[in-house]
Amino acid sequence: MKALTGKWSFYLNGGLLSVMIALCLYLFQDTVGMNDGMIKISEYAEQTAEQVSDNEDIELPPLQWQTGFLGGIFIGALAASIMSGNWKIRFFQDKESGIISKSLKTVLYGLGGGFLVMLGLQLSGDSFLGQWSGALQLSGGSWIFLVSCFAVASGIAIMMENRGESGGE
Amino acid sequence: MLDGNYRLAAAIFIGIFCGFLLVKSDLAWRKTCLNMFLLKDGRLLKTLLFSLGFGVALIYLLQHLELITVHVRPGYFWASLIGGTISGLGLAFCFRVPITSIAALGAGRLYAFWSIIGMFLAIYFVDVISSMLSSSIYSWSKPINAPQQADAFLSASNPALWVVLLSLIALVFLHFAFNDEAEE
């Protein structure tokens, strides 16, 4: 029971992450990732917007293996956080005072950061998990992506921390 | 290997496992990712390094046993470099990638929803500028060659061996360099 409620060691986490990627390569014959799932949802949203503007009946979202994976992550995270007592409703990423300031920061950092993360992933051609899977298969493109991504993220995070802008949860 | 509903069911189960793992490994939390990039918390770094070292050896073994084949999307030098730089810039602001955004949302962190909206906007934006991308960054360099597997694992010319060794050395260094604290 403690295995479900407590934290896991990094050996177990790292090992299971690799086993999961290997299992996906075996079962799906593809690099698993959120890229395809989010593109399918994006296409669905575009199609739904057209159906609404044309007063047509709205179709249900596509349940394919990529979107199923996405839904599974949500359910798994929900279950794990409830079991370990970490499930908390949080509207703002920072605990600083001032509702307008933290609202603006949450929206701008979330929207801008998410936009840039996905833009970079789209340019490189795969999701983050897909890039990790590529790195395990010794793909040159994935290694270039991951090294540049971690170097830039770490450099800017340290720079922002020194200026006191990165904030906490 | 799997088709139709079996494929869907397997994807949902693996997704549930992945979500569980993201919370248990603390990858879903913004604060732990922030501390990793600030080089203050070694736990996530150790998780990723161990995954790298163990995963490269595991994939090599499975490929050697012909249980899996290489499945890598075609990579371009400039697209990977520019993409990695832009993603790194975004990560420094939101500390979330697509899977961790969904996991954070599942764990009640509703602010992750803004990141997900930003990600959908990026997909739409790339769709709009796709023709321009084809004639620019994807044409600046040829596709990077698919990875080749060495015949013997314990060979000095095998890159997998070097990745495993360097990961282990980095893990030992991190073990002594960081005092791990539980973050949430």
pLDDT digits (tens, 9 = 90+) for A77-101: 999 999 988 888 888 887 776 888 8
For residue A136, name the pLDDT band (cuts at 50, 70, 90).
Answer: very high
- Mean pLDDT of all residues in chain A? 84
Query: Which of B109, B113, B121 faces A115 most closely, judged by CB atoms?
Result: B121
- Reported ipTM: the value is 0.90
A104 with B108: CB under 8 angstroms?
A: no
DSSP, collapsed to helix, strand or coil, labels residue A70 as: helix
Please report, rounded to a whole number, the percentage of residues in chain A having pLDDT higher than 70.
88
Residue A9 gets the label, from left (phi > 0), alpha (psi -120 to 50) or beta, of: beta
Size of chain B, expressed as the number of residues it contains: 184
Residues A121, A124, A130, A135, Cα dihedral to 10°: -130
For residue A166, name the pLDDT band (cuts at 50, 70, 90).
Answer: low
- B77 in contact with chain A, both atoms CB, cutoff 8 A: yes
A37 with B77: CB under 8 angstroms?
A: no
Mean of pLDDT values over A99-104? 85
For residue A62, name the pLDDT band (cuts at 50, 70, 90).
Answer: low
Tell me how many degrees the CA angle A77-B96-B130 measures, rounded to the nearest 5.
115
Query: Which of A34, A136, A148 faces B88 most closely, judged by CB atoms?
Result: A148
Question: CA nearest A143: which of B138, B58, B75?
Answer: B75
A118 with B98: CB under 8 angstroms?
A: yes
pLDDT at A20: 92
Q: How far apart are the first and last CA of chain A?
A: 28
Mean of pLDDT values over A111-117? 94
- B172 in contact with chain A, both atoms CB, cutoff 8 A: no
Question: CA nearest A17: which of B44, B71, B147?
Answer: B44
pLDDT at A117: 94
* Token output for B134: 């084809």
Residues of B in contact with A93 (CB under 8 A): 30, 109, 111
B48 with A104: CB under 8 angstroms?
A: no
pLDDT at A94: 75
DSSP, collapsed to helix, strand or coil, labels residue A63 as: coil
pLDDT at A168: 52
| Global confidence as pTM | 0.87
pLDDT at A19: 94
Q: How far apart are CA A162 and CA A110, in angstroms?
A: 21
For residue A146, name the pLDDT band (cuts at 50, 70, 90).
Answer: very high
pLDDT at B184: 44
pLDDT at B182: 47
- Give tens-digit pLDDT for B53-95: 999 999 999 988 888 887 787 788 889 999 999 999 999 998 8
- A49 in contact with chain B, both atoms CB, cutoff 8 A: no
Q: How far apart are CA B166 and CA B158, in angstroms?
A: 13
For residue A56, name the pLDDT band (cuts at 50, 70, 90).
Answer: confident
Per-residue pLDDT of chain B (184 residues; tens, 9 = 90+): 777 788 889 989 999 999 999 998 888 888 889 889 998 888 889 999 999 999 999 999 998 888 888 778 778 888 999 999 999 999 999 888 999 999 999 999 999 999 999 998 998 898 888 878 877 888 787 787 777 777 777 788 888 899 999 999 999 988 888 765 544 4
Q: List, in order, residues 6 or more apart from B77 with CB less than 8 Å away.
A: A140, A141, A144, B140, B141, B144
Query: Which of A24, A111, A152 faces B114 most closely, judged by CB atoms?
Result: A111
- B165 in contact with chain A, both atoms CB, cutoff 8 A: no
